[in-house]
Amino acid sequence: MALSPTALAAFLSTGLISLAPNVLLFLFPNYAASSSSHSSANRAWLSLGQALAVGGLMGDVFLHTLPDCFADSGGHHTPDNHSRSNHHESHDHEGGRHVAGEEIGVRVLAGFAAFLALDILVRSLEDGHGHNHSLDKTNGHSNTFKKNSFKSQWRLVLSSAVLLNLLGDALHNFTDGLAIGATFAASQISSHSFGTSSTVSWLTSAFSLLKSRGGLASMSVFLHEIPHELGDFATLVNAGMSRNMAIGMQFLTSIAAFMGTALGLFSSHIIEGLGHDVLLPFTAGGESRIFLVTVFVF
Protein backbone atom coordinates (compact mmCIF):
# COMPACT_ATOMS: atom_id res chain seq x y z
CA MET A 1 0.00 0.00 0.00
CA ALA A 2 1.52 3.29 -1.14
CA LEU A 3 1.87 6.20 1.21
CA SER A 4 -0.33 9.20 0.59
CA PRO A 5 1.45 12.48 -0.21
CA THR A 6 0.45 13.74 3.24
CA ALA A 7 2.08 10.77 4.97
CA LEU A 8 5.14 11.04 2.72
CA ALA A 9 5.57 14.72 3.58
CA ALA A 10 5.17 13.97 7.31
CA PHE A 11 7.75 11.17 7.32
CA LEU A 12 10.09 13.19 5.11
CA SER A 13 9.92 16.09 7.56
CA THR A 14 10.52 13.76 10.51
CA GLY A 15 13.49 12.21 8.73
CA LEU A 16 15.08 15.57 7.99
CA ILE A 17 14.52 16.76 11.55
CA SER A 18 16.04 13.57 12.96
CA LEU A 19 18.95 13.37 10.52
CA ALA A 20 20.23 16.94 10.29
CA PRO A 21 21.04 17.61 13.99
CA ASN A 22 22.70 14.20 14.38
CA VAL A 23 24.83 14.66 11.25
CA LEU A 24 26.03 17.98 12.69
CA LEU A 25 27.41 16.04 15.67
CA PHE A 26 30.06 14.46 13.42
CA LEU A 27 31.55 17.95 13.01
CA PHE A 28 32.37 18.06 16.72
CA PRO A 29 35.89 17.13 17.87
CA ASN A 30 36.39 13.49 18.86
CA TYR A 31 36.78 14.31 22.53
CA ALA A 32 36.15 12.20 25.59
CA ALA A 33 35.35 13.25 29.13
CA SER A 34 38.82 13.04 30.64
CA SER A 35 41.06 10.55 28.86
CA SER A 36 42.41 12.80 26.11
CA SER A 37 45.71 14.65 26.28
CA HIS A 38 43.75 17.84 25.61
CA SER A 39 41.53 17.27 28.63
CA SER A 40 41.42 20.96 29.59
CA ALA A 41 40.12 21.93 26.16
CA ASN A 42 37.71 19.01 26.28
CA ARG A 43 36.37 20.15 29.64
CA ALA A 44 35.75 23.62 28.22
CA TRP A 45 33.76 22.18 25.31
CA LEU A 46 31.88 19.85 27.63
CA SER A 47 31.03 22.71 29.98
CA LEU A 48 29.66 24.67 27.04
CA GLY A 49 27.68 21.63 25.95
CA GLN A 50 26.28 21.13 29.44
CA ALA A 51 25.21 24.78 29.55
CA LEU A 52 23.49 24.25 26.20
CA ALA A 53 21.80 21.12 27.54
CA VAL A 54 20.46 22.89 30.62
CA GLY A 55 19.35 25.94 28.64
CA GLY A 56 17.73 23.80 25.96
CA LEU A 57 15.80 21.67 28.44
CA MET A 58 14.70 24.66 30.53
CA GLY A 59 13.64 26.58 27.43
CA ASP A 60 11.76 23.58 26.07
CA VAL A 61 9.90 23.08 29.36
CA PHE A 62 9.18 26.66 30.44
CA LEU A 63 9.04 28.54 27.12
CA HIS A 64 7.54 25.91 24.82
CA THR A 65 5.84 22.87 26.38
CA LEU A 66 4.14 24.29 29.47
CA PRO A 67 2.92 27.55 27.85
CA ASP A 68 1.49 25.46 25.00
CA CYS A 69 -0.32 23.16 27.44
CA PHE A 70 -1.76 25.95 29.60
CA ALA A 71 -2.72 28.13 26.61
CA ASP A 72 -5.05 25.45 25.27
CA SER A 73 -6.41 24.39 28.67
CA GLY A 74 -8.90 27.29 28.68
CA GLY A 75 -10.76 26.01 25.65
CA HIS A 76 -11.47 27.70 22.35
CA HIS A 77 -14.18 30.35 22.28
CA THR A 78 -15.03 32.86 19.59
CA PRO A 79 -15.45 36.54 20.49
CA ASP A 80 -19.13 36.35 19.47
CA ASN A 81 -19.85 33.46 21.81
CA HIS A 82 -17.99 35.18 24.58
CA SER A 83 -20.05 38.36 24.24
CA ARG A 84 -23.30 36.39 24.56
CA SER A 85 -22.23 34.38 27.61
CA ASN A 86 -23.75 35.27 30.97
CA HIS A 87 -21.97 35.56 34.29
CA HIS A 88 -22.74 31.98 35.29
CA GLU A 89 -21.29 30.57 32.08
CA SER A 90 -18.20 32.73 32.51
CA HIS A 91 -17.78 31.42 36.03
CA ASP A 92 -18.11 27.83 34.81
CA HIS A 93 -15.55 28.51 32.12
CA GLU A 94 -13.08 29.88 34.64
CA GLY A 95 -13.69 26.89 36.90
CA GLY A 96 -13.14 24.49 34.01
CA ARG A 97 -9.91 26.23 33.08
CA HIS A 98 -8.77 25.98 36.71
CA VAL A 99 -9.49 22.25 36.76
CA ALA A 100 -7.69 21.79 33.44
CA GLY A 101 -4.69 23.68 34.81
CA GLU A 102 -4.64 21.43 37.86
CA GLU A 103 -4.72 18.35 35.64
CA ILE A 104 -1.73 19.64 33.70
CA GLY A 105 0.13 20.25 36.94
CA VAL A 106 -0.64 16.72 38.13
CA ARG A 107 0.68 15.27 34.88
CA VAL A 108 3.87 17.32 35.14
CA LEU A 109 4.40 16.01 38.68
CA ALA A 110 3.62 12.49 37.45
CA GLY A 111 6.37 12.78 34.85
CA PHE A 112 8.81 14.11 37.44
CA ALA A 113 7.90 11.30 39.88
CA ALA A 114 8.15 8.61 37.19
CA PHE A 115 11.65 9.71 36.20
CA LEU A 116 12.61 9.99 39.87
CA ALA A 117 11.39 6.44 40.54
CA LEU A 118 13.31 5.16 37.53
CA ASP A 119 16.43 6.98 38.72
CA ILE A 120 16.16 5.39 42.17
CA LEU A 121 15.64 1.94 40.63
CA VAL A 122 18.61 2.24 38.27
CA ARG A 123 20.89 3.60 41.00
CA SER A 124 19.94 0.71 43.30
CA LEU A 125 20.82 -1.75 40.53
CA GLU A 126 24.10 0.09 39.95
CA ASP A 127 24.98 -0.13 43.65
CA GLY A 128 24.26 -3.85 43.69
CA HIS A 129 26.41 -4.42 40.62
CA GLY A 130 29.21 -2.29 42.05
CA HIS A 131 29.16 -4.30 45.28
CA ASN A 132 29.42 -7.60 43.40
CA HIS A 133 32.18 -6.21 41.22
CA SER A 134 34.21 -5.14 44.27
CA LEU A 135 33.87 -8.66 45.70
CA ASP A 136 35.22 -10.08 42.46
CA LYS A 137 38.27 -7.82 42.67
CA THR A 138 39.01 -8.92 46.26
CA ASN A 139 38.97 -12.53 45.04
CA GLY A 140 41.64 -11.72 42.46
CA HIS A 141 39.43 -11.15 39.45
CA SER A 142 40.52 -8.04 37.56
CA ASN A 143 38.12 -5.80 35.77
CA THR A 144 38.17 -6.80 32.08
CA PHE A 145 36.22 -3.76 30.94
CA LYS A 146 38.45 -1.01 29.60
CA LYS A 147 37.14 2.51 29.66
CA ASN A 148 36.67 2.87 25.93
CA SER A 149 35.84 -0.75 25.07
CA PHE A 150 32.60 -1.49 23.25
CA LYS A 151 31.30 -3.60 26.12
CA SER A 152 31.96 -0.93 28.74
CA GLN A 153 30.29 1.66 26.50
CA TRP A 154 27.11 -0.39 26.49
CA ARG A 155 27.34 -0.69 30.28
CA LEU A 156 27.25 3.11 30.41
CA VAL A 157 23.80 3.03 28.78
CA LEU A 158 22.47 1.35 31.92
CA SER A 159 23.82 4.09 34.19
CA SER A 160 21.26 6.37 35.79
CA ALA A 161 22.28 9.62 34.10
CA VAL A 162 22.55 8.13 30.61
CA LEU A 163 19.40 6.00 30.81
CA LEU A 164 17.27 8.91 32.01
CA ASN A 165 18.69 11.18 29.33
CA LEU A 166 17.98 8.64 26.58
CA LEU A 167 14.49 7.96 27.88
CA GLY A 168 13.72 11.66 28.09
CA ASP A 169 15.09 12.25 24.60
CA ALA A 170 13.05 9.36 23.16
CA LEU A 171 9.87 10.60 24.83
CA HIS A 172 10.59 14.14 23.62
CA ASN A 173 11.11 12.88 20.06
CA PHE A 174 7.91 10.83 20.27
CA THR A 175 5.83 13.88 21.22
CA ASP A 176 7.50 15.89 18.43
CA GLY A 177 6.55 13.13 16.00
CA LEU A 178 2.98 13.14 17.30
CA ALA A 179 2.75 16.89 16.72
CA ILE A 180 4.14 16.59 13.18
CA GLY A 181 1.90 13.67 12.23
CA ALA A 182 -1.26 15.17 13.69
CA THR A 183 -0.61 18.56 12.07
CA PHE A 184 -0.02 17.04 8.66
CA ALA A 185 -3.15 14.90 9.09
CA ALA A 186 -5.13 18.09 9.74
CA SER A 187 -3.64 19.54 6.53
CA GLN A 188 -4.79 16.55 4.48
CA ILE A 189 -5.88 17.31 0.91
CA SER A 190 -8.19 15.10 -1.12
CA SER A 191 -6.36 12.60 -3.33
CA HIS A 192 -7.82 13.86 -6.63
CA SER A 193 -6.02 17.19 -6.18
CA PHE A 194 -2.60 15.56 -6.32
CA GLY A 195 -2.41 14.73 -10.00
CA THR A 196 -1.74 11.00 -9.54
CA SER A 197 -1.12 10.54 -13.29
CA SER A 198 2.50 11.51 -12.83
CA THR A 199 4.99 10.45 -10.17
CA VAL A 200 6.69 13.83 -10.50
CA SER A 201 3.46 15.73 -9.89
CA TRP A 202 2.66 13.41 -6.98
CA LEU A 203 6.04 14.16 -5.38
CA THR A 204 5.57 17.86 -6.14
CA SER A 205 2.25 17.79 -4.33
CA ALA A 206 3.88 16.06 -1.38
CA PHE A 207 6.55 18.74 -1.17
CA SER A 208 3.87 21.44 -1.43
CA LEU A 209 2.49 20.12 1.84
CA LEU A 210 5.74 21.21 3.47
CA LYS A 211 4.41 24.77 3.11
CA SER A 212 1.23 23.86 4.98
CA ARG A 213 0.56 23.91 8.74
CA GLY A 214 2.44 20.63 8.98
CA GLY A 215 5.46 22.18 7.31
CA LEU A 216 5.41 25.15 9.67
CA ALA A 217 5.14 22.81 12.66
CA SER A 218 8.09 20.81 11.33
CA MET A 219 10.19 23.96 10.98
CA SER A 220 9.38 24.91 14.57
CA VAL A 221 10.42 21.45 15.79
CA PHE A 222 13.61 21.58 13.72
CA LEU A 223 14.75 24.93 15.14
CA HIS A 224 14.45 23.79 18.74
CA GLU A 225 15.72 20.27 18.02
CA ILE A 226 19.24 21.34 17.02
CA PRO A 227 20.29 22.82 20.40
CA HIS A 228 18.36 20.05 22.17
CA GLU A 229 20.33 17.31 20.39
CA LEU A 230 23.65 19.12 20.89
CA GLY A 231 22.96 19.39 24.61
CA ASP A 232 21.98 15.71 24.87
CA PHE A 233 25.16 14.76 23.02
CA ALA A 234 27.31 16.73 25.47
CA THR A 235 25.53 15.07 28.40
CA LEU A 236 26.24 11.58 27.04
CA VAL A 237 29.89 12.37 26.32
CA ASN A 238 30.33 13.89 29.76
CA ALA A 239 28.93 10.67 31.25
CA GLY A 240 31.82 8.78 29.64
CA MET A 241 30.57 7.76 26.20
CA SER A 242 32.71 8.02 23.11
CA ARG A 243 31.59 10.43 20.41
CA ASN A 244 30.51 7.67 18.02
CA MET A 245 28.57 5.82 20.70
CA ALA A 246 26.80 9.03 21.76
CA ILE A 247 25.84 9.80 18.16
CA GLY A 248 24.61 6.23 17.72
CA MET A 249 22.39 6.58 20.78
CA GLN A 250 20.99 9.83 19.40
CA PHE A 251 20.08 8.09 16.15
CA LEU A 252 18.48 5.27 18.15
CA THR A 253 16.22 7.62 20.09
CA SER A 254 15.15 9.31 16.84
CA ILE A 255 13.20 6.14 15.97
CA ALA A 256 10.64 7.28 18.53
CA ALA A 257 9.94 10.35 16.36
CA PHE A 258 8.87 8.14 13.45
CA MET A 259 6.66 6.10 15.77
CA GLY A 260 5.02 9.30 16.98
CA THR A 261 4.55 10.54 13.42
CA ALA A 262 2.86 7.29 12.38
CA LEU A 263 0.58 7.39 15.41
CA GLY A 264 -0.31 11.03 14.79
CA LEU A 265 -1.06 10.40 11.12
CA PHE A 266 -3.05 7.20 11.23
CA SER A 267 -4.56 7.09 14.71
CA SER A 268 -5.40 10.72 15.45
CA HIS A 269 -9.10 9.84 15.80
CA ILE A 270 -8.22 7.25 18.47
CA ILE A 271 -5.65 9.21 20.47
CA GLU A 272 -7.21 12.66 20.15
CA GLY A 273 -5.77 14.79 22.94
CA LEU A 274 -3.35 12.10 24.16
CA GLY A 275 -0.20 13.70 22.81
CA HIS A 276 -1.06 17.27 23.79
CA ASP A 277 -3.02 16.78 27.01
CA VAL A 278 -1.12 13.86 28.55
CA LEU A 279 2.27 13.21 26.98
CA LEU A 280 3.41 16.84 26.69
CA PRO A 281 3.06 17.71 30.41
CA PHE A 282 4.38 14.26 31.38
CA THR A 283 7.45 14.85 29.20
CA ALA A 284 7.89 18.33 30.70
CA GLY A 285 7.97 16.78 34.17
CA GLY A 286 10.53 14.20 33.09
CA GLU A 287 12.74 16.82 31.45
CA SER A 288 12.50 18.96 34.60
CA ARG A 289 13.82 16.00 36.59
CA ILE A 290 16.70 15.62 34.14
CA PHE A 291 17.95 19.23 34.13
CA LEU A 292 17.32 19.82 37.85
CA VAL A 293 19.10 16.72 39.14
CA THR A 294 20.96 14.87 36.40
CA VAL A 295 22.52 17.56 34.18
CA PHE A 296 23.24 20.17 36.86
CA VAL A 297 25.36 17.78 38.92
CA PHE A 298 27.93 17.13 36.17
In angstroms, the Cα distances linking 242 to 7, 24, 167, 254 are 36, 16, 19, 19
How many Å apart are CA 65 and CA 252, to the nearest integer?
Answer: 23
∠11-17-22 over CA atoms, to 5°? 125
How many Å apart are CA 266 and CA 129, to the nearest integer?
Answer: 43
pLDDT, one tens digit per residue, over 139-192 is: 444 444 444 465 666 666 667 778 888 888 898 889 888 888 877 877 665 444
How many Å apart are CA 25 and CA 258, to the nearest integer?
Answer: 20
In angstroms, the Cα distances linking 295 to 34, 162, 211, 225, 264 are 17, 10, 37, 18, 31
What mean pLDDT is reported for the chain?
71
pLDDT, one tens digit per residue, over 202-223 is: 666 656 665 667 777 788 788 7
Could you tell me the pTM of the whole model? 0.67
Where along the chain do its domains lie?
Answer: 5-32+40-73+95-137+150-295
